[in-house]
Amino acid sequence: MTSAKTRPASDYPPGGDAFRHRHLIGIAQLTPWEISYVLDAAEEWVELNRSGAAKHDDRLAGLTIINAFFENSTRTLLSFEIAGKRLGADVVNMHAAQSSVKKGETLIDTAMTLNAMRADAMVIRHGSSGAVQLIAGKVDCPVLNAGDGRHEHPTQALLDALTIRRRKGKVEGLTIAICGDVLHSRVARSNILALTLLGNEVRIVAPPTLTPPAMERMHVTTFTDMDEGIRDADVVMMLRLQNERMDGAYLPSAREYHALYGLTPKRLEKAKPDAIVMHPGPMNRGVEIDSSVADDPVRSTITEQVEMGVAVRMACLDILTRRKRGVAGWN
Amino acid sequence: MELKPLHIIGAMLIDGDTPRPGSLLVVDGRIAALDPAEIPDGTETVDAKGQWLAPGIIDLGVFATDKPAFHFGGITRAALMPDNGPLDGAGLVERAAKGGKPDLWVHPLAAATKGLEGRELAEIGLMKQAGARAIATGRSRIADSGVMRRVLSYAASLGLVTIIHAEDEGLTAGAVATDGEMATRLGLASAPAMAEAIAIARDLALVEETGAPVHFRQVTTARGLDLIRAAKAKGLPVLCGITPAHLLLSDTAIGDFRTFARLSPPLRSEDDRHACLAAIADGTIDVLASGHDPRGPEDKRLPFAEALPGMAGAETLLALGLGLVRDGHVSPGRLFELLAGTPACLLGVDAGSLAVGKEADLILVNDATPWQVDAKKMAAWAGNTPFDGMPVQGRATMMWKGGQRIR
């Protein structure tokens, strides 16, 4: 894949062989061409989403999608909801705060209940690594992981790859620095897997207290010096720093973190002149990223990432429900 | 009840390094003679048909009195960890000790501190009088070094060994796996393997000072085992144990978030696993135990970090131990020292070997019978085994507790 232009369908295996998964649990299960297949499909939805007033395609009409979010989320939930609705599906949201989870019902019981309501797809976010896979093994419909603990957040990595591909014309052979709280970040794990798989040089820039063990086994290089880590990078991907990490256990303070790891205009000069700046949101302005960088229309891709998120999620929902809808070749 | 004398003939006796043909006479529940010349009148004869005759397994450090699983596994005595309860008073200890009789003897391990909270000494002396055979720190260690020092010297004065769990609580706080590629890929909170060595080092220093005998229930890392080896070379009164899990599995077993492989301490790297195999071969490890901790779906069918640690190990202990023999890591005689002889010494019970005068806790073992571990068909009250599906060889075919046939 050397340009943002999508590949012709004939480049992919026919029918369901192009994406041989019942669920989307993580990037770890995907091949490079499956990632590319999803990105190409998402390109179509970008066009539709930009095409004026009528952004509707009714291919999922009559299907029920349940967004089960056991952990709070605004943007990911909204993004999945819009994606489902643009495809014509009936979308239902379940928030843990309003559910029987708080009453002590086990995760499996909750999953079985949702399953009995005959959902045609479930989108699940949960605070524990592995929880989404656990549910996927118990239900009859496709399950999409919208983030499980610190494990994976596959649609985020796909939308990031799509954003890079559209901005840089390719998503291979680039130098990409992922900066911040890698230890607690599922976004970082999914992006490391996706971006190394696609053939990029991936660097991790993080304080030692927020660097996971055995990173060399993930085929990345680690840096503790931000200036070194982003030197000549094509992409600087910032991670959100949770407030509770700054209370002294992992980091001394927010201002020290900003001084050492905050992305300032001056620091960004170390990266390539045309480097782009990414952030999965929500941002802590003035902590991990300066407002002037975040709002730079040329370099910041932050709003574009949100836009790509809807397109990628539409592609995933479409692809994973093809068996159910009896699309030719998907059985 | 009158016990008839029992003569087991045609057996391969495990009373030395290698099995040898022989017979064994039991009178009044005790081993009366090996290869007896004279047999009393009215003796019942059992033909072992060439199977191994070994001491019943003394499983040191289980978390539940699970008789069907113990009987399946050839376990005649089990030392019960104090965590359920916790066993921190004489009444509780006395009740636990009666839990399995007559066909299974439970030796309660007394809680070292009140409520196992690691702060105040429990009534160790009264619990000894009630039947406690040793004391234990439970599933975690005693964090406060001052408390630990007092526990060790107090228990030693009563002639009791202190059984220790060795993990530094600061390093392991919140962790459910060992640092490494697997934990990182799965996004699980992990702790460095040396959390074990740090804990062992502190307690060895206290042993050196107090002279108190200790047993580290599970030592699972190369660095931890090096410390034990050095302490033994110095002549310190130190023993250590392990379960088959840390000898046969590494942290790759937690891939796919398999909660049956969530253990405490967590599974280690492949390098550490090999160090454990070397340590069981060179004699650094003294005890092989099941760590039997059956847990139902309410504790295990959960996201990995929310599941509770532990495995149902009683049924697989013997077969996996026989695997160590087949793979050349230990001799048959040494296997039963690990499973019975050393645990008997540590607990001060008159069993654990085929010697005249010992209690006739005996098992016949067919060391060749092939079978497959199946989590769904276990005798234990929960089938949480990390060895599900594994083909194994060897099982206990007959059992006697104090000369009384129980299986």
CB pairs under 8 A between A and B: 71
Sorting pLDDT into bands at 50, 70 and 90, what band is A51? confident
**Residue B354 burial by Cβ neighbours in a 10 Å radius (0-12, 13-18, 19+):** buried
When pLDDT is cut at 50, 70 and 90, the band that residue A101 belongs to is low
Closest CA to A129 of A159, A101, A107, A111: A107
Q: What is the pLDDT of residue A100?
A: 56
Check whether A102 has a pLDDT greater than 70.
Answer: no
pLDDT average, residue stretch A191-213 = 97
In chain B, what is the straight-line distance between the N-terminal and C-terminal CA atoms, in Å? 18
Give me the mean pLDDT over the A128-149 stretch. 96
Question: Looking at the complex, does the CB of residue A79 fall below 8 Å from at least one CB of chain B?
Answer: no
How many secondary structure helices (H) and strands (E) does chain A include?
Answer: 12, 9
Chain B interface with A: residues with Cβ < 8 Å: 179-181, 183-190, 192, 256-257, 297-298, 301-306
Suggest the residue from B176, B258, B306, B308 to mutate for an interface test with chain A (most A CBs closer than 10 A).
Answer: B306
Name the residue of chain A whose CA is nearest to B303's CA. Answer: A131
ipTM value:
0.92
Work out the pLDDT band at A246, boundaries 50, 70, 90: confident
Å between B311 CA and nearest CA of chain A: 19
Question: B183 and A213: CB-CB below 8 Å?
Answer: yes
DSSP secondary structure letters along B320-388: HHHHHHHTTSS-HHHHHIIIIIHHHHHHT-S-SS--TTSB--EEEEEEEEEEE--GGG-SSSS---TTT
Average pLDDT value for chain A: 93
A45-59, A94-108, A243-257, B362-376, range with greatest mean pLDDT:
B362-376
With a pLDDT cut of 90, the percent of chain A lying above it is 83
pLDDT for residue B305: 95
Measured CA to CA, the distance from residue B53 to residue B11 in angstroms comes to 6
Q: Write out residues 88-107 of A within 8 Å (CB-CB) of B.
A: 106-107
| Chain CA centroid to CA B14, Å | 19
Separation in Å, CA of A130 to nearest CA in chain B = 6
Tell me what pLDDT residue A97 has. 59
Average pLDDT on A218-247 reads 93
Decide if A129 and B257 are in contact by the 8 Å CB cutoff. yes
Asked if A214's CB is within 8 angstroms of B179's CB, the reply is yes
Residue among B384, B373, B176 nearest B297 (CA):
B384
Chain A partners of B297 at a C-beta cutoff of 8 Å?
108
pLDDT at A99: 58
Residue A242 is predicted with a pLDDT of 82
Least confident of A59-63, A105-109, B191-195, B248-252: A105-109
What are the φ/ψ torsions at residue A183 (nearest 5 degrees)? -55, -45
Contact A129 B305 (CB under 8 A): yes
- Structure confidence at residue A4 (pLDDT): 56
Provide Rg for chain B, Cα atoms: 21
Mean pLDDT of A136-144: 96
User: Distance between CA B92 and CA B122 in Å, rounded?
Assistant: 12
In the predicted model, what is the mean pLDDT of residues A4-29? 91
A225 pLDDT more than 60 = yes
Q: Is there a contact between B185 and A218 if contact means CB atoms under 8 Å apart?
A: yes
**Contact criterion met (CB < 8 Å) for B185 and A128:** no
Mean pLDDT split into 10-residue runs, chain B, 407 residues: 88 96 97 95 96 98 96 97 95 93 93 97 97 97 98 98 98 97 97 98 98 98 98 98 98 96 98 98 98 94 95 97 98 98 97 97 97 94 95 97 93
The pLDDT, as a whole number, for residue A276 is: 98
* Radius of gyration in angstroms for the set of CA atoms belonging to chain A, rounded to a whole number: 20
Average pLDDT over residues A110-122: 93
Residues of chain A with C-beta less than 8 angstroms from the C-beta of B188:
129-130, 149-151
Residue B107 near residue B79, CB atoms below 8 Å: yes
Are A133 and B186 in contact (CB < 8 Å)?
A: no
Q: How many CB atoms neighbour CB B101 within 10 A?
A: 11
**Closest partner CB to B180 (pick from A129, A131, A213):** A213
Q: Distance from A185 to chain B by nearest Cα, in Å?
A: 8
The three-class DSSP label of residue A238 is: strand
Q: Judge: A129–B306 Cβ closer than 8 Å, yes or no.
A: no
User: pLDDT value at position B207?
Assistant: 98
Contacts of A28 in chain B (CB under 8 A): 185
Pure H helices in B114-268: 124-129, 145-157, 169-172, 181-186, 194-210, 222-233, 244-248
Per-residue model confidence (pLDDT) at position A1? 37
A16, pLDDT greater than 50: yes
B298-319: per-residue pLDDT in tens? Answer: 999 999 999 999 999 999 999 9
Are A129 and B301 within 8 A, CB to CB? Answer: no
* pTM: predicted TM-score of the whole model, two decimal places: 0.93
